[in-house]
């Protein structure tokens, strides 16, 4: 660093006082008085150089472009922090949060009435471990336990629930999601998915399959 400072000072001094001594043979071009580049006497060259250094009343913008604005250049010593993380390094998520509202679970039995369950204290949790990758957990409102945690892929304010995941399985029966969709608007979350429940085979090897539908609508707290 000290060597750079000394070199900079030497360059400034040399620029302010034109030398009449030719350059030494250090790899730079030697002063040639016989070329057509400049055949004027040294005194005329010195006078022309001094006149060029004097300020003019109206400098030309063509030879002296205006300096660039320094406001647009960030401080080289300051780390570049995204605006969304300036409040503590946490990027806000449109999805993440605890949602409370109501839900409806319907089991469709072939040849029989539907089994409908309603909950006006329904609770759903949404997490976003990485951008666009959601984990939507349906929480038991009575115990606080997680009934199932569904993975979903978000595109903006809409998300598709991955098919093939298990939710609302019961003893002796397996439930799986066939399709699902979620959306968020401000602090409101809507979740819908369809699936099927298949019972374990009985003694004769027969199993029963029936449909499953779920809907949740809630607000983030």
Residue pLDDT, tens place only, 29-63: 434 444 433 444 444 444 444 444 444 444 444 44
Range of the domain at 179: 97-220
Q: Does the residue 122 lie in any domain?
A: yes
How confident is the model at residue 179, as a pLDDT? Answer: 98
- Residue 200 CB partners (closer than 8 Å, separation 6+): 172, 173, 174, 207
In the predicted model, what is the mean pLDDT of the chain?
74
Give the whole-angstrom CA distance, residue 162 versus residue 77.
45
Q: Does the residue 155 lie in any domain?
A: yes
Rounded alpha-carbon distances, angstroms, from residue 148 to 135, 166, 221: 10, 7, 21
Q: Does the residue 87 lie in any domain?
A: no
> Is the entire prediction scored with pTM above 0.85?
no
pLDDT tens digit sequence for 150-188: 999 999 999 999 999 999 998 999 999 999 999 999 999
- Give long-range contacts, CB 8 A cutoff, 24+ apart: 184-188: 184/94, 184/95, 184/126, 184/157, 185/157, 187/97, 187/219, 187/220, 188/217, 188/218, 188/219, 188/220
Burial class (CB in 10 A: 0-12, 13-18, 19+), 212: buried
Q: Does the residue 9 lie in any domain?
A: no
* Contact of 18 with 46, CB cutoff 8 Å: yes
What CATH number should be reported for the domain holding residue 179?
2.40.160
* Contact of 182 with 158, CB cutoff 8 Å: yes
Number of domains in the chain: 1
How confident is the model at residue 66, as a pLDDT? Answer: 53
Give the whole-angstrom CA distance, residue 181 versus residue 169.
20
């Amino acid at each position: 660093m000290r060597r750079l400072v000394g070199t900079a000072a030497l360059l400034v001094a040399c620029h302010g006082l034109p030398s009449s001594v030719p350059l030494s043979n250090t790899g730079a071009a030697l002063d040639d008085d016989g070329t057509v580049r400049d055949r004027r006497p040294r005194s005329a060259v010195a006078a022309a150089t001094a006149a060029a250094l004097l300020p003019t009343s109206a400098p030309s913008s063509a030879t002296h472009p205006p300096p660039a604005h320094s406001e647009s250049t960030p401080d080289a010593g300051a780390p570049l922090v995204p605006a969304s993380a300036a409040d503590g390094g946490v990027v806000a998520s449109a999805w993440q949060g605890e949602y409370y509202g109501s839900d409806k679970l319907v089991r469709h039995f072939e040849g029989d009435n539907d089994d409908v369950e309603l909950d006006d204290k329904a609770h759903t949790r949404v997490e976003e471990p990485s951008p666009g990758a959601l984990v939507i957990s349906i929480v038991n409102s009575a115990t606080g336990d997680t009934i199932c945690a569904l993975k979903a892929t978000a595109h903006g304010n809409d998300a598709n629930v991955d098919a093939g995941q298990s939710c609302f399985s019961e003893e002796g029966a397996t439930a799986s999601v066939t399709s699902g969709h979620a959306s968020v608007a401000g602090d409101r979350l809507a979740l819908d998915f369809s699936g099927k429940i298949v019972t374990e085979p009985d003694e004769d090897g027969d199993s029963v399959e029936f449909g499953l539908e779920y809907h949740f609508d809630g607000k983030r707290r």
